[in-house]
Amino acid sequence: MALSIERGRESVSRCGCCGKISHTIRGFLGDDSGPYGVYFAGYTEKHEDGIGTLIISLGDWSEKATPKDRQAILLRVRGPKMEMMVGGPNHSPWNDVGVLGEILPRERALKHPRLQDYYHAADHIVAEDERFTKYFTG
Ligand SMILES: [Zn+2]
C-alpha cells in the first residue's frame, strides 16, 4: 500500500497550559483507492518536555461517512529521534475537533487491530511533513 500525504492548514495559537506559542499542522493521507486518513500534528515552542503530539484518524473518510465511522490514536513524539509513545485524549490539545472521531484512550489504542496502520501512517508523516519534524530535529 502506497500512502501519500497532502498538506493542510497550519495555524498558531497560545498553549492552554502556559500561554507559549503552539503550532497545529494539518494534513490528509491517501492511498491507492482514495482518502485514507487525516492527521493533526502539533508542538508548543519552548516546552521543557520537548514532546510533540500527533493524532491520526483512520477509518471511513468518504463523503458519506461521519466521525462515528473513524477512530483516532494519539502518539506523543519525542525529538530528536522522533520516538513515539501511544497516548490518549488526556494528551490532546484538540479534543474539540469532532471530525477526527473518538480519540481512543491509551489502553484501547494499544489493543486496536489496526495499530500498525497508525504507526505506518505516523512514519510517513514524520518522514514527509517537515513542518512538524523541523522543530524537533532542526
Ligand atoms: Zn504549555
Ligand 1 centroid – CA 22 distance (Å): 8
Shortest CA distance to 117 belongs to which of 42, 41, 37, 53? 37
44 Cα: distance to centroid of ligand 1 (angstroms): 6
Cα(90) to centroid(ligand 1), Å? 14
pLDDT for res 50: 86
Q: What is the pLDDT of residue 7?
A: 97
State which residues have CB under 5 angstroms from ligand 1, the bound ion: 15, 17-18, 44
pTM for this prediction:
0.95
Per-residue pLDDT of the chain (138 residues; tens, 9 = 90+): 689 999 999 999 999 889 999 999 999 999 998 999 999 999 999 987 889 999 999 999 999 999 999 999 999 999 889 999 999 999 999 989 999 999 999 999 999 999 999 999 999 999 999 999 999 887
Measured in Å, residue 19 CA sits from the centre of ligand 1 at 6
Range of the domain at 77: 4-137
Strand partners for 24: 11, 42
Task: Kindly report the backbone phi and psi dihedral angles of residue 74, in degrees, each rounded to the nearest multiple of 5, phi listed first.
Answer: -100, 130
Q: How many structural domains does the chain have?
A: 1
